[in-house]
């Protein structure tokens, strides 16, 4: 009996690093911006249900804030359906996970089995040209670890290069926030939201295959070690692909 228990206890849990954007201010709308709740909480739920350990970090560390429209308690009611995020917010244990995140500067890639980069509006300003984010994505990928990015977090792939100097997405099939979704979002709020559109930029890259599905439909793609999700409704789908790649 004791020997069997020891075997079970010695089995190492798989660990996932979730990377979320730091709070910022949009230069196009003037809004305070951050991460998107569902892109954090739905993958977190999928990973923990699979028995994985999850750590949340951000490029600069510190407290994180979410985009208002992603908040299930926001007056707009835009995400009122998101009960998983509501439960995460109301749990003191879980809410504490985003109140004082560690920075990316000292990430030990060997300590994790995969990285999962989430979106929201902040990454469109804070991930572009961010060497810390690109370095973490590159190091996970080159270490043979599953490397996942969803929604606007996929903007990091527009610039992330491997040690060879080639873009990580060269020869890869991947997805990200679609032009049709940007058009809908702009029409919904009555103004331009993003400084650039990921689909436009991705299609300028030669030798990569950027694909999208229907607007705001769950859609995730796996190409080897690279997993990508189209938008906020694709976080759980991308997490399931990570779990499939790693096994329980």
The answer as to CATH 2.60.40.420 being correct for domain 14-246 is: no
d(CA 153, CA 177) in angstroms, rounded, equals 9
Q: What is the pLDDT of residue 247?
A: 84
Maximal CA-CA distance, the chain: 65
Q: What is the pLDDT of residue 9?
A: 44
Map out the domains of the chain as residue ranges: 14-246
* Cα within 13 Å of Cα(194), Cβ side: 28
Helix (H, G, I), strand (E, B) or coil at 125: helix
To the nearest 10 degrees (0 to 180), the angle between helices 37-49 and 83-90 is 80
Q: What is the pLDDT of residue 248?
A: 64
Q: Which residues of 41-54 are buried (b: 16+ CB within 10 A; e: fewer)?
A: bbbbbbbeebebeb
Segment 201-209 mean pLDDT = 97
To the nearest 10 degrees (0 to 180), the angle between helices 235-246 and 37-49 is 30
Q: Which of 37, 43, 99 is nearest to 74 (CA)?
A: 37
Average pLDDT along the chain: 95
Contacts with 22 (C-beta within 8 Å, 6 or more apart), sequence order: 34, 58, 59, 60, 62, 64, 122, 126
Cβ(217)–Cβ(147) below 8 Å: no
- Residue 120 pLDDT > 80, yes or no? yes
Alpha-carbon Rg for the chain, nearest whole angstrom, is 18
User: Sorting pLDDT into bands at 50, 70 and 90, what band is 12?
Assistant: confident
User: Sorting pLDDT into bands at 50, 70 and 90, what band is 42?
Assistant: very high
Task: Out of 2-11, 171-180, 196-205, 228-237, pick the least confident.
Answer: 2-11
Distances (CA, A) of 246 to 15, 43, 45, 80: 10, 14, 16, 32
Give percent above pLDDT 90 in the chain.
94
């Amino acid at each position: 009996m004791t020997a069997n228990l020891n075997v079970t206890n010695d089995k190492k849990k798989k660990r996932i690093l979730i990377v979320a954007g730091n709070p910022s201010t949009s230069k196009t709308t003037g809004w305070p911006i951050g991460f998107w709740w569902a892109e954090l909480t739905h993958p977190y739920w999928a990973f923990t249900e699979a028995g994985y350990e999850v750590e949340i970090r951000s490029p600069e560390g510190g407290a994180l804030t979410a985009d208002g429209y992603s908040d299930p308690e926001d007056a707009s009611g835009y995400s009122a359906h998101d009960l998983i995020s509501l439960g995460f917010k109301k749990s003191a244990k879980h809410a504490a996970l985003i109140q004082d995140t560690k920075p990316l500067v000292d990430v030990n890639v060997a300590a994790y089995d995969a990285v999962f980069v989430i979106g929201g509006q902040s990454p469109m300003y804070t991930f572009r040209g961010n060497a810390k984010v690109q370095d973490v994505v590159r190091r996970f990928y080159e270490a043979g670890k599953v490397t996942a990015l969803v929604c606007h977090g996929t903007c990091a792939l527009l610039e992330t290069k491997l040690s060879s100097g080639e873009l990580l997405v060269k020869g890869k099939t991947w997805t990200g926030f679609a032009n049709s979704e940007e058009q809908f979002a702009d029409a919904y709020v009555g103004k331009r939201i993003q400084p650039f559109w990921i689909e436009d930029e991705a299609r300028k890259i030669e030798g990569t295959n950027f694909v999208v599905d229907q607007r705001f439909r769950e859609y995730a793609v796996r190409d080897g070690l690279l997993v990508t999700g189209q938008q906020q409704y694709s976080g759980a789908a991308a997490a399931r692909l990570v779990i499939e790649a790693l096994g329980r």
